Structure 1
Amino acid sequence: MFRFLTPKSIKPPFARYSHGVEVPPGKRLVLCSGQVAITADDQIPEEAGAQAELCFRNIEAILGEAGLGLRDIIRINAYVTDRAHLRPYMD
């Protein structure tokens, strides 16, 4: 479905992503707004990992409304506020 672009002439990505993704003609695109780690009943998980899980569950629910899932994601922008939270986010 997607063509992942990682040219041999540049340094490979340091994690599980591609430098670019080509979406074929005629495909739908769904854009999600930024998600914050607040539950429907206004609770905020204490741990960074739990916050990340909540954000991804929210994204999964949004994509589900369009008949899509996490496997259909082609790009994520994430803002981690402290290096100490990076590993729990990545996990």
Structure 2
Amino acid sequence: MKSLTPAAIAPPFARYSHGVELPVGARIVRTSGQLGLAQDGTVPEGAQAQAEICFANITAILAEAGMDAGDVCHVSAYVTDRAHMPGYMAARDAFLADAPVLPSSTLVIVSGFTRPEFVVEVEVWAAAP
């Protein structure tokens, strides 16, 4: 993968790339949106705790395809309030701490999810040889 962050536009204001070029012939994995639902069915309070579960689920999905966080080329995240952005971003930055190329990213504030206790949802695209 190659980061695309042109000097002609403002730099990203967080840990992401404006664009990512994928190599020819890459295998692609697209996850469903992951919610902060623990395996035992509980939902922790707070965006960071929920986002950590989202990224743990994504890690497990990627592992099924022989991939990891370093293969993520795009992250889409949804939070229910601006107040949840720092917690989400802390979990995202931890997930991507060792990524050799930062993925592109979209973060959207939404009115809610299927259950009121959910405050964050995350989905990714990943690519590997």
Cα deviation 1:6-54 (Å, max 9, x = unaligned): 1111111111111110101011111101001111221001122110100
Structure 2: segments with no counterpart, 5+ residues: 91-129
C-alpha separation in 1, matches of 2:14 and 2:83: 18
For 2:28, give the aligned amino acid: L
Relative to its length, the structure with more strand (as a share) is 2
Larger Rg, first or second structure (1 or 2): 1
C-alpha separation in 1, matches of 2:72 and 2:33: 14
Counterpart residue number, 1:80: 79
User: How many residues get paired?
Assistant: 90
Deviates most, 61-70 or 33-42? 33-42
Structure with the bigger RCO (C-alpha within 8 Å, sep 6+) is 2
For 2:53, give the aligned amino acid: L
Counterpart residue number, 1:22: 21
Query: How do residues 53-64 of structure 1 correspond to structure 2 at under 5 angstroms?
Result: 53-64=52-63
The root-mean-square deviation of aligned C-alpha atoms, in Å, is: 0.8
Structure 1: segments with no counterpart, 5+ residues: none
Counterpart residue number, 2:41: 42
- How many percent identity over aligned positions? 57
Give the structure-2-normalised TM-score: 0.67
For 2:11, give the aligned amino acid: P
SS at match of 1:10: coil
For 1:21, give the aligned amino acid: V
